[in-house]
Amino acid sequence: MSFSFRAASLAALLALGACSPTYNWRELRLDGAPLLALMPCKPESATRPVPLLGAALAELHMHSCETGGLRFAVAWADVGSAAQVAPALAAWRSASLQSIRVAPTPADDPSTRWTVTVAGAPAVLGVSAQGQDPQGQPVQTRAVYFSQGTRVFQAAVYGAKLPDEAVDPFFSGLRLSPP
């Protein structure tokens, strides 16, 4: 065997070894919240105050990453009182639909309702919709909204197409610890 053939073979093997899968699943434990999520890539984290139900501000904690042309996101906020949970979840769902240029619909509207469960969450509102991203390109989303105590949660996937092999592990990997 010639030296150049061996060098090319070694380079090819090294290149194959350096390849990583599109979805490199890992557990994410959310600081300050009882939620465990399965993310397909290393998430970036941010916290920012957001207006909630009028003038009140809440700290929104976000974790998101992008891989395979999809954006995966998990977020939570503490709304401070049990009476604010249902209105906060409804407002969050509405704002999420508006962000992809979909007119908000009632929570029980079959055109956007998606049946899904989150381990440990007594009630989950699932949403599936198709809209447009800020650049006017088609985008689909699947999202879930749920709560525990005064904390509200959202987990969502956005992309031009939502393949089951990416969406299913993400949502089935959500686990809410008992209070």
What's the mean pLDDT in 56-67? Answer: 91
pLDDT given for residue 54 in this prediction:
64
- Cα–Cα distance, 92 to 53 (Å, whole number): 10
Residue 129 CB-half CA count within 13 A: 25
pLDDT given for residue 58 in this prediction:
85
The answer to whether 71 touches 158, Cβ cutoff 8 Å, is: yes
Pick from 34, 43, 33: nearest CA to 119? 34
Pick from 157, 174, 128, 162: nearest CA to 64? 157
pLDDT at 108 over 90: no
SS3 of residue 24 by DSSP: coil
- Cα–Cα distance, 130 to 175 (Å, whole number): 26
Report the 10 Å Cβ neighbour count for 119.
11
pLDDT at 12 over 60: no
Over residues 143-160, the pLDDT tens digits come to: 999 999 999 999 999 999
Domains, the chain, ordered by start: 22-176 (3.40.1000)
Classify residue 129 as exposed, middle or buried by CB count within 10 Å of its CB (0-12, 13-18, 19+): buried
Band of pLDDT at residue 31, cut at 50, 70 and 90: confident
What's the mean pLDDT in 22-46? Answer: 93
Q: Which residues of 89-108 are buried (b: 16+ CB within 10 A; e: fewer)?
A: bbbbbeebbeebebeebeee
Band of pLDDT at residue 6, cut at 50, 70 and 90: very low
